[in-house]
């Protein structure tokens, strides 16, 4: 089996590449990544010599690059995306390029090559926010920012290709992921890096915004099930009901690191900030048998400890600073 994974040098993508090689040692895995600021080959240094693994630097919105790799591919997992909300507020163009045009190019070339299964990796943010209850796969889309709007557009394209061309397309929408190797612009590595640099953890507003947290390895297991057992034309929500306010997450992070809560600094909220993300994942549980295996308390602590060691090594080696934005 030949599998093309896009965005495989990023946070979720690198975990997914490693998971697929371990779970399916006979599969040939091609990783297409443009190595923009959040994609790092260091994320995959431990498997770069695997004979069943191939890395190609390239843009998913470039038809020639995609066409050169798609021939003979059985499965496609389109995980490449621009994902940072704050960056999308500053400039939406890169998000339209990767998340909309890139998805369109991937779909066109996959259709041309009669790919057996095409999995579009999406996000719970396409639903917008919800004060009470949970979004299901049938809920209307109401994205709140350019990032989530671009992901919603990619989803609509994927579903249109299923309806129009009978392409075997599936979509997964996951809640917030946590784990190792995430670029330090998202809240957990961002705060740890700031704190270890002697700065404060800068929380938007009053920190009451709620996120559902899922370990990236549990996400990879869900992707595996949707890819192999999901029904074409269907959407699968992936979440663990680990709802925490941003303030609760920050306080827990400080507790693990051993720093006082006065290291929290409340800053002006960002425009259009979603209040609460919450999805119902009963469908993937009942139809595909998925259940998360990593308890939040254990996984979160392990994640914080991983970043502590990573940034300590970075500081001790006087490594070049990784660019971080002011907010998540």
Q: What is the DSSP letter of 276?
A: B
Rg (the chain; Cα; Å): 19
Which residues pair with residue 214 across a beta bridge?
177
Side-chain half-sphere of 83: how many Cα atoms within 13 Å? 26
List the structure tokens of 225.
């099930």
28 forms beta bridges with 2
Q: Which of 147, 178, 183, 307 is catalytic?
A: 147
Residue 25 in tokens: 């040692």
User: Contact 11/219 with Cβ under 8 angstroms?
Assistant: no
**124 annotated active-site:** yes
| Annotated catalytic residue within 33, 59, 82, 125 | 125
Distance CA(45)–CA(290), nearest Å, equals 29
Q: Give 289-300 as a 3 state SS string.
A: CCCCCCCHHHHH
Instruction: Name the token pair of 211.
Output: 């996120």
Please answer whether residues 294 and 218 qualify as being in contact, where contact means their C-beta atoms are separated by less than 8 angstroms.
yes
Contact call for residues 69 and 106 (beta carbons, < 8 A): no
307: which 2 tokens?
A: 């970043």
**DSSP symbol at 172:** E
List, in order, residues 6 or more apart from 166 with CB less than 8 Å away: none
33, 59, 82, 124: the active-site residue = 124
Is 147 catalytic? The answer is yes
Say whether 125 is catalytic: yes
Token couple for 273: 């900030």
Give the span between the Cα atoms of 10 and 30, in whole angstroms.
14
Catalytic residues: 124-125, 147
């Amino acid at each position: 089996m030949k599998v093309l994974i896009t965005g495989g040098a990023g946070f979720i993508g690198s975990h997914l590449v490693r998971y697929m090689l371990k779970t399916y040692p006979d599969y040939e895995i091609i990783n297409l990544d443009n190595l923009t600021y959040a994609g790092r080959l260091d994320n995959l240094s431990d498997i770069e010599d695997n004979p069943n693994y191939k890395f190609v630097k390239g843009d998913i919105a470039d038809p020639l690059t995609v066409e050169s790799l798609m021939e003979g591919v059985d499965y496609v997992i389109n995980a490449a995306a621009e994902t940072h909300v704050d960056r999308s507020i500053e400039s939406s163009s890169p998000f339209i390029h990767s998340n909309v045009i890139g998805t369109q190019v991937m779909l066109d070339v996959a259709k041309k090559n009669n790919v057996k299964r095409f999995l579009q990796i999406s996000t719970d943010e396409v639903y917008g926010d919800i004060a009470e209850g949970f979004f299901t796969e049938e809920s209307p889309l109401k994205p709140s920012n350019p990032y989530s709007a671009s992901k919603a557009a990619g989803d609509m394209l994927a579903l249109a290709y299923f309806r129009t061309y009978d392409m075997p397309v599936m979509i997964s929408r996951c809640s917030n992921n946590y784990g190792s190797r995430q670029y330090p612009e998202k809240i957990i590595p961002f705060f740890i890096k700031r704190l270890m640099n002697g700065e404060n953890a800068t929380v938007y507003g009053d920190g009451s915004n709620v996120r559902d947290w899922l370990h990236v390895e549990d996400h990879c297991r869900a992707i595996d099930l949707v890819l192999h057992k999901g029904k074409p034309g269907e959407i699968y929500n992936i979440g663990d009901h680990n709802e925490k306010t941003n303030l609760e997450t920050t306080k827990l992070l400080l507790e693990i690191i051993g720093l006082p809560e006065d290291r929290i600094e409340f800053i002006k909220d960002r425009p259009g900030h979603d209040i609460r993300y919450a999805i119902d994942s009963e469908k993937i549980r009942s139809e595909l048998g998925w259940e998360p295996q990593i308890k939040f308390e254990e996984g979160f602590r392990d994640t914080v400890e991983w970043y502590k060691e990573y940034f300590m090594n970075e500081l001790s080696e006087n490594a070049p600073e990784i660019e971080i934005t002011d907010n998540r």
